[in-house]
Amino acid sequence: MDERLTDLRSKKNPKARIKIMKGHFATSHSHINTYIDMSTVKARHNNCRETAKELATEYIHNTAVDTIVCLEETDTIGTFMAEHLADGSPLSFSKGNNISIISPEYHQSGLILFRDNVQRMIVNSQVLILAPSITTGKSVNRAIEAVEYYGGKVCGVCAVFSSVKQVRGIEVKSIFTEEDIPDYRAYAPNECPLCKEGKHLDAIVNSYGYSKL
């Protein structure tokens, strides 16, 4: 493991934790100065459960959820969220719902698709979109467009970390924000000040992790 990775724990629940690393990184949409590692909250069941509990709290008493669309390997978090929303409180708006947990398919053109066998879990359904992190909102925007195309209604957008507060007018609920990483910055690749300073990229990053250059 890279020694530069440091823990960042939620103030509300220390078991909901991510790791961060400073540097110069490229994503598919932008250049960033901080890599956010989601391995712990995605893969370890205890951390997944506690992360899911914190996210579900934002919706349990105010939003009915039929389906959770899980972006970029967040299925385990989504499953724990569904359990908390449907079974965690008798006052939950989703109490008793058999919440569907689905992941989209990504076409090489950038479109988000849902196969015929899961489209029935979107049409006429209240759909919550879950992402690990949101930096520009482009991926989530495509997910919203896909859900609406297949006849669903997006009832919420949530993420473990988000540097944006809204996507298409929908408030983003997240555990970590820029307030937790105050020097976090994302830039358009052609406007990146780190590139202009001649600083080489440390790694290419995506939902699977990072690859050093």
| Domains of the chain with CATH codes | 6-212 (3.40.50.2020)
Q: Write the pLDDT tens digit of every residue in 70-119.
A: 999 999 999 999 999 999 889 999 999 999 999 999 887 778 999 999 99
Spatial neighbors of 138 by CB under 8 A, at least 6 apart, are: 29
Q: Record the pTM.
A: 0.91
What pLDDT, on the 0 to 100 scale, is given for residue 22?
94
The average pLDDT across 166-171 equals: 96
Q: Are 114 and 150 contacting, i.e. CB atoms less than 8 angstroms apart? A: yes
Q: How confident is the model at residue 209 (pLDDT cuts 50, 70, 90)?
A: confident
Residue 67 has pLDDT above 70, yes or no: yes
Percent of all residues in the chain with a pLDDT value above 70, rounded to a whole number: 99
12 pLDDT tier (thresholds 50, 70, 90): confident
The dihedral built from the CA positions of residue 63, 68, 69 and 73, taken in this order, carries a sign that is positive
How is residue 23 written in tokens? Answer: 């540097």
Phi, psi of 190 (to 5 degrees): -80, 0
pLDDT value of position 63: 97
